[in-house]
Structure 1
Amino acid sequence: MRRIPPLKAKRAIRGGSASALWLRLGSIVALALCGLLLAAPASQAQNAGGLGGFLQNLFNFGARPAPPPAASNASLRERAHKAVRKRQDFVPSTATRAPGTPGGAPVVKPTFFISVLGDSLAILAAQGLSDAFADKPEVAVTDLARDVSGLARNDYYDWPKAARDLIAAKTNIDVAVIMMGINDVQPLKDGDETLDLLSDKWRAAYGQRIDALLAPFRDAHIRVLWVGLPPMRDDRLNVQATALNEIYRDHAGKDGATYIDIWDAFADANGQFAAFGPDVEGQNAKLRNGAGGIYFTKTGARKLAQVLEPDIRRDLEKSKPQDNFAALPPDVEKEASAVNEEIRRELGAGSERPGAAAPAPKPLAGPVVSLTARPTSPGGALVNATDAGAIRTLAQQVYAAPAGSAPSPPAGRADDFAWPPAR
């Protein structure tokens, strides 16, 4: 027999062992596939397309199944971020409708009118009053102020004439607020004569213009609040403002107006100018603004209105109908009196004719009756024998009754509860 060389024998053994190994691996894989096919439920095999579908899903080859419907094909991100409809609370229709429209809030017409006259400080005062009465639609604030105006230069703007025209036009005014003076610290021209500031003639001529401004309101019985000037940062202007306030206070009292002093509301502890101070809520805030601290900030204008509010609110309350009843016209009141007279006649109460004798007034207290004195007849006479016997019998019943109990009632009286009842 032919012998194989050693080297070739080793190669043959290696080749044979490799073939056997691959056969074993193929068998294991085949067995595994059969086990998976047998273990998978029939429904899953049907849904996956049988063996072909299973192999397609396992080895990712062949035609893919049709995509699911569009509703279930949304990506996870889209479904996670899908807008969720929020549950809204009930909103009344009045909150979504404009005032005056069907279902909306009623429109409140102004019934109380405030007119503000003066210079640039009055413009700021009107703004503060508008903020103060913003929650009261029945109050109307009208800004009639003119910048760079005053009483010293009636050739620029004549305030007394403007007041006369305002009253002649029958403008609705319940309260007039006047504030001016910062443009009046200058010489005043009276005819052909120029008067020096704060001289005696200047004071007299300036006071006459104040009287002329207030006269139309006084004749029309319109309440006027004349607002004084606040402290000024400049010392010279501060002295002039003090002098003007004295003139305003004097003439306002003579002409029936009310002078409103606001000096302390905008001054420090020493009565001098202060740019900062407590606002309407008591918090420290900037109140004055502008060159020289003459003007008010928005917060300062609101504080100025706070000083005016008490007087204005009192007039506002007076303007409201008392007890929601309006006074009856004379003819209606006369007819109501006739109806009342007819009712009294039908009830037999007598009539209250003019000139008829008035009934005697009722005394505050009745006659004094003693509870311990001996009983007497009218006129002070002693009681007779019959009355004395009745009183004696009653007293015996009271004293003979047990303590805390009432005497027995007479037989047959309503409070006699004896049974059977007496006949």
Structure 2
Amino acid sequence: MKHSSISPGVRVVDKSDGSSGFVRDDHRDWPATIGAEIEAEKPAVVVMMAGANDRQQFANGQTLLSDEWDKEYQARINAFLEAVKKTGRPVVWVGQPSYKTKSMTNDVLAFNELYRNATEKAGGTFVDVWDGFVDQSGSFTLSGFDMSGQTARLRNNDGIGLTPAGKRKLAFYVEKPLRQMLGNATSPNIAAVKPGAPVQALPGTPQAPVTVDRLAPISLNDPELDGGTDLLGASPRGAPAPEKSARDRLVIDGVAPESQPGRVNDFSWPKQPDATPTTGAVR
């Protein structure tokens, strides 16, 4: 159990078991035990990631990813999600990344679809981390961009484990839905919150009650609130034709511009006197 260094208001209760999964329930039976653990710890949200140890047959001999295997595996996933749902806690299921061996990558791709479908059906949130651990062609890569945008080693030499930079990157994908669920508890300025205590506003930032004014209903005669009177779908009003220039009136319409006194096109009779030019002393 520890406080997040980034969000002190969040306590992380680590109940992970690196050797567990949903196939070997003799080692750890997640559907049967998760309910009691949630009641004991009273977390605000449950985060689950599994699958790396499930690439094996069941004790009754069902072959990996056969129809019978799929049916049994889905049943155990659904049982886990149902146990979490009964506690009233939301669940965030983190998908698997790609792996070095092609066969393992293909298997976890199939697992991810099972996790996604089951989680979303149960009203949970599935976090897809796949794109963060493949290259531009979609293939497994040991290195990639870290959280600072620099190229870093993300995976161990075995092509399975994550380096510290890889773990931080995977956590980044999970932070977004968690921030939405935990609200201001994720602020770095909030004090530690006791288990089960409601999240309060940040100290030093009191919030005045919000006054909600009644909004006037939108008028059917003026849906755009711009003074117009036509409803949506009415015939558009014709825009006024642009005024033609003197050149267009002459070339297109054959209408010469009006003559001005003193110009060469002044054919008026009798002649009008020219405007008296302004004179000035020249030195």
Give the TM-score band, short-chain normalised.
Answer: 0.5 to 0.7
2:121 corresponds in structure 1 to 254
Q: How far apart are the structure 2 equivalents of 1:153 and 1:251? A: 20
Return the offset for 1:165: 1.4
Return the offset for 1:318: 6.3
The answer to whether 1:273 aligns with 2:140 is yes
2:168 corresponds in structure 1 to 302
1:213 corresponds in structure 2 to 80
1:167–1:216 contact (8 Å) kept in structure 2: no
Q: How far apart are the structure 2 equivalents of 1:165 and 1:146? A: 16
What's the RMSD between the two structures over aligned residues? 2.5
Give the secondary structure class of the aligned counterpart of 1:177: strand
Q: How far apart are the structure 1 equivalents of 2:164 and 2:149? A: 15
1:341 corresponds in structure 2 to none
The answer to whether 1:314 aligns with 2:180 is yes
Find the partner of 2:55 among 185, 204, 211.
185
Spell out, residue by residue over 1:325-356, the C-alpha distance to the aligned partner (whole angstroms, 9 max, x if none).
799xxxxxxxxxxxxxxxxxxxxxxxxxxxxx
CA separation of 1:324 and 1:163: change in aligned 2, threshold 3 A? farther
Find the partner of 1:196 among 47, 52, 63.
63
Q: How far apart are the structure 2 equivalents of 1:215 and 1:175? A: 14
1:280–1:303 contact (8 Å) kept in structure 2: yes
2:32 corresponds in structure 1 to 161
Query: Which protein is bigger by CA-based radius of gyration?
Result: 1
Spell out, residue by residue over 1:54-109, the C-alpha distance to the aligned partner (whole angstroms, 9 max, x if none).
xxxxxxxxxxxxxxxxxxxxxxxxxxxxxxxxxxxxxxxxxxxxxxxxxxxxxxxx
Give the secondary structure class of the aligned counterpart of 2:13: strand
1:286 corresponds in structure 2 to 153
Report 1:2-401 matches (<5 A): 133-169=4-40, 171-189=41-59, 193-291=60-158, 293-317=159-183, 320-321=199-200
Return the offset for 1:202: 0.6
Tell me which amino acid in the other structure corresponds to 2:138: G
1:288–1:295 contact (8 Å) kept in structure 2: yes
Return the offset for 1:167: 3.0
CA separation of 1:290 and 1:172: change in aligned 2, threshold 3 A? farther
Spell out, residue by residue over 1:272-298, the C-alpha distance to the aligned partner (whole angstroms, 9 max, x if none).
10110000110000001142x111000
**Which structure 2 residue ranges, 5 or more long, are not aligned?**
186-198, 210-215, 220-283
TM-score, normalised to structure 2, is 0.64
Q: How far apart are the structure 1 equivalents of 2:72 and 2:34? A: 18
1:150–1:183 contact (8 Å) kept in structure 2: yes
Aligned residues: 195
Tell me which amino acid in the other structure corresponds to 1:307: Y
**Which structure 1 residue ranges, 5 or more long, are not aligned?**
1-114, 116-125, 328-360, 365-423
Tell me which amino acid in the other structure corresponds to 2:115: Y
Q: How far apart are the structure 2 equivalents of 1:326 and 1:149? A: 49
Give the secondary structure class of the aligned counterpart of 1:309: helix
Q: How far apart are the structure 2 equivalents of 1:188 and 1:255? A: 24
CA separation of 1:326 and 1:296: change in aligned 2, threshold 3 A? farther
Q: How far apart are the structure 1 equivalents of 2:91 and 2:137? A: 30
2:156–2:162 contact (8 Å) kept in structure 1: yes
Tell me which amino acid in the other structure corresponds to 1:314: Q
Return the offset for 1:148: 1.0
CA separation of 1:318 and 1:201: change in aligned 2, threshold 3 A? farther
Tell me which amino acid in the other structure corresponds to 2:155: R
CA separation of 1:278 and 1:325: change in aligned 2, threshold 3 A? same
Identity of aligned residues (%): 36
Structure number with the higher helix fraction is 1
Give the secondary structure class of the aligned counterpart of 1:295: coil
Return the offset for 1:151: 0.4
